[in-house]
Amino acid sequence: MKTLRLLIINLLLTSGTLSAQIQNFEWQNVQREYLVRTPAQQDGDVPVLYFLHGLGDNITRLDNEFHFQQIADQIGWAIVVPQALNEGYGTMWNAGLTASTTNDSGFLMALLDSLVEPYHINLDSVFFTGFSMGGFMSHRMAIEHGDRITACAPVSGLITTYMANHTAVAPVRMLHIHGTTDPVVGYDGGSQYFGYQLGLSVDNILKYWQDANGCSGEPEIDTLPNLKNDGLLFVRYTYDCGTELQHIKVIGGVHNWYQNANQYDISYFDEIVKFFKGNNNTTSVVNHTESKILKVYPNPTSGQINIEVSEASTIEVIDLQGRVVATPSLKPGLNTVDLGNLPEGMYFLKSGNEASVRIMKTN
């Protein structure tokens, strides 16, 4: 327990002083705190976006970092930022990870009902997102309240083993975002920090929501534009479902909310809001005009591929876990590369900071 507390202390983010904008809501004889940001221009009822913080965090620090008022003004929605209680490990949502008896799920929905009239909330447009422990809690909200929630976008959070034993009350539009090299909340469901399994792996989370949302077949896979020198590759998986299911796999991504558009190829908030609004506009960069890789064929391939490049370069062959599995050097023009020793699966060809090309290796 001492080791766990020390780890949590190391993960805590700098706290700020609670401001007068923090409000209180009594739930089960406990005063719960929350923050609401509403758009400056509001005409009629507006959608509401819940943002759930991570372990040990507080809502004032979040508001200072993300500038929720600017986001509310930009998207025209109300943003609700509730505060978790201190459960002995720091402020922590009861997502089914510990033996806590705190009914956070009930609190969040009761708070929503209390905000409808004073803030003119549209109950047909209710959205949840959250980071880390907030991502865990977003999954729980989707499972328990998918009949009232329009869409969820957990980031770096899992479905706990406890919640995996529950059947989702209804299909819910779902976007799960996760880094493949996250050491805190691992892509495989484990944790290098806590030393035990925190929940389902991301692959099993997607299977859970495929079943809940009535999905079939293999997903459509698209690489997002890869133009920044951020060491990351963002890959979107879109499933054929009765209710929309997507996953953004951040190859090389760690336990971080990637937000700075000047530094990273995507902004999480932008991607989440686009998904919530239903105008995601997924983009494949297989034939991106800025790439030095002009042609790759045959694709799929069982072994050798032909790669045509505009200038001499070294190509990285990257697997879905973000590992560089080959680095062939190419001369200008047509080159033949043998991938016969690689296992079956999806790979990406990447030249420097330029757009990547997706290939399928078969047996």
Model confidence at 103: pLDDT above 70: yes
* 325 and 253 co-located in one domain: no
* 185 and 333 co-located in one domain: no
Q: 225 preceded by cis ω (within 30°)?
A: no
Say what the pTM is: 0.77
User: What DSSP string describes 177-223?
Assistant: EEETT-SSS-TTS--TTT-S--S--HHHHHHHHHHHHTEEEEEEEEE
**106 part of a folded domain:** yes
Per-residue pLDDT band for 161 (boundaries 50, 70, 90) equals very high
* 173 and 301 co-located in one domain: no
The number of C-alpha atoms within 13 Å of 72 and in the hemisphere containing its C-beta is: 23
* 183 and 316 co-located in one domain: no
* 237 and 306 co-located in one domain: no
Model confidence at 245: pLDDT above 50: yes
Model confidence at 21: pLDDT above 50: yes
Q: Average pLDDT for residues 148-176, to the nearest whole number?
A: 97
* 346 and 206 co-located in one domain: no
Percent of the chain with pLDDT over 70: 89
Per-residue pLDDT band for 355 (boundaries 50, 70, 90) equals low
Per-residue pLDDT band for 298 (boundaries 50, 70, 90) equals confident
Model confidence at 15: pLDDT above 70: no
Task: Quote the CA–CA distance of 75 and 155 in Å, as a whole number.
Answer: 20
User: N- to C-terminal Cα distance for the chain?
Assistant: 48
**286 part of a folded domain:** no
* 217 and 242 co-located in one domain: yes
Q: Of 277, 305, 321, which residue sits at a domain end?
A: 277
Q: Is residue 4 helix, strand or coil?
A: helix
Model confidence at 214: pLDDT above 50: yes
Contact between 104 and 136 under an 8 Å Cβ cutoff? The reply is: no
Can you give the CATH number for the domain in which 131 is found?
Answer: 3.40.50.1820
* Residue 182 vs residues 79, 93, 206: alpha-carbon distances, Å: 27, 20, 17
* 48 and 93 co-located in one domain: yes
β partners of residue 128: 50, 152
Per-residue pLDDT band for 84 (boundaries 50, 70, 90) equals very high
**163 part of a folded domain:** yes
* 265 and 305 co-located in one domain: no
Q: At what angle do helices 104-119 and 133-145 cross, to 10 degrees?
A: 80
Task: Quote the CA–CA distance of 215 and 275 in Å, as a whole number.
Answer: 18
In terms of Cβ atoms closer than 10 Å to its own Cβ (0-12, 13-18, 19+), residue 117 is: exposed
Model confidence at 7: pLDDT above 80: no
Residue 113: which residues within 8 A CB-CB, separation 6 or more?
A: none
**283 part of a folded domain:** no
Q: Of 252, 277, 302, which residue sits at a domain end?
A: 277
Q: Average pLDDT for residues 321-349, to the nearest whole number?
A: 86
pLDDT value, residue 124 = 94
Q: Average pLDDT for residues 116-130, to the nearest whole number?
A: 96
pLDDT value, residue 279 = 60
**355 part of a folded domain:** yes
**285 part of a folded domain:** no
Can you give the CATH number for the domain in which 333 is found?
Answer: 2.60.40.10
Q: Between 306 and 109, name the one with better pLDDT.
A: 109
Task: Quote the CA–CA distance of 41 and 261 in Å, as a whole number.
Answer: 25
Residue 16: which residues within 8 A CB-CB, separation 6 or more?
A: 58, 60, 61, 64
**Tokens representing 343?**
């296992």
Q: Of 250, 277, 304, which residue sits at a domain end?
A: 277
* 202 and 124 co-located in one domain: yes
* 166 and 217 co-located in one domain: yes
Q: At what angle do helices 68-75 and 59-66 cross, to 10 degrees?
A: 60
Per-residue pLDDT band for 120 (boundaries 50, 70, 90) equals very high
Structural domain for 301, as ranges: 293-361
Q: Within its chain, how far is the Cα of 169 from the centroid?
A: 22
**208 part of a folded domain:** yes
Q: Over the range 139-155, which residues count as b (16 or more CB within 10 Å of their CB) and which as e?
A: bbbbbbbbebbbbbbbb
Q: Average pLDDT for residues 220-226, to the nearest whole number?
A: 87
Structural domains counted in the chain: 2
Q: Average pLDDT for residues 169-188, to the nearest whole number?
A: 97
**235 part of a folded domain:** yes
Task: Quote the CA–CA distance of 133 and 94 in Å, as a whole number.
Answer: 9
pLDDT in tens, 55-72: 999 999 999 999 999 999
* 73 and 32 co-located in one domain: yes
Q: Between 160 and 292, name the one with better pLDDT.
A: 160
The number of C-alpha atoms within 13 Å of 178 and in the hemisphere containing its C-beta is: 32
Handedness of CA 31, 34, 40, 42 (dihedral sign): negative
Q: Between 277 and 308, name the one with better pLDDT.
A: 277
**Tokens representing 49?**
């976006």
In terms of Cβ atoms closer than 10 Å to its own Cβ (0-12, 13-18, 19+), residue 32 is: buried
